[in-house]
Amino acid sequence: MPQLSATTLKLFQECPRCFWLHVNRKVERPRGPFPSLPSGIDRILKVYFDGYRRQGKLPPLIAGKIEGQLSSTALTLGFNDETTGARLWGKLDDCVALPDGRMMPLDHKTRACPPDDVSYTEQYYLFQMDVYTLLLERNGYQTSRHAYVVYYCPEDGVLHDGIPFSVTVHHVATDPQRAYKIFTAGCACLAGPLPESSPTCGYCRWIATRAAQLAIEGAVPMPAVRRSAAAPAVPEDLFA
């Protein structure tokens, strides 16, 4: 059973070919070192929010900026979809319970400076919030079909007193059906043959360019190298 998330479905939107290889053949895009600072801030935020959750209060960082209270619902959610035979799952940063009992995802983002306006959130993070809303609803929660995206940005200050952060909250409308349509399209892609690359995919473009260069140079293929059992199988038509 394929197990998909907002991250893997975002890859499907970027390039179906990279998505197919990532899920079906475990051939992942190369990536460099991942910065650890955002992960460290996320950890600190979780401890900070959990402390106020136990008190039944909103943290001062967001008090007056959002409606409702921090929920104690499970944040790792998933469901098995009978129609596609796949599983969709995700881990919310947090969740807000509104006065009427409906739920809203809340996501933390760290940036060097605040976004100009909500269009930034709609462009880069709305699909993620759509998926989280879908996960909440498929797990039996009523939602407002809205989400909060909270940006934490460092400000000037006296460093030995701690780095001050500004807090900007974006409130966006979500559409779980929009997320489900992309989920089903991704599942259909996985069930079919290796798809074409996206015209804007830099990874696939590099592979095609490199393969063409080798063909022009008349490069002799390297001898086969024995792979361990854990090594991913690369499709024969990867360079096609």
The rounded mean pLDDT for the chain is: 91
pLDDT of 5 over the 50 cut: yes
pLDDT of residue 37: 85
Sketch the domain layout of the chain as residue ranges.
3-191
Which residues lie closer than 8 Å to 171 by C-beta, 6 or more apart? 66, 118, 146, 147, 148
CA 128 – CA 168 distance, rounded (Å): 18
87 touches 2 (CB < 8 A): yes
Q: Per-residue pLDDT tens for 31-62?
A: 888 888 888 999 999 999 999 999 999 999 99
pLDDT of residue 104: 97
**Averaged pLDDT, 207-225:** 73
pLDDT of residue 233: 53
SS3 at position 154: strand
Which residues lie closer than 8 Å to 109 by C-beta, 6 or more apart? 125, 149, 150, 151, 152
CATH number of the 3-191 domain: 3.90.320.10
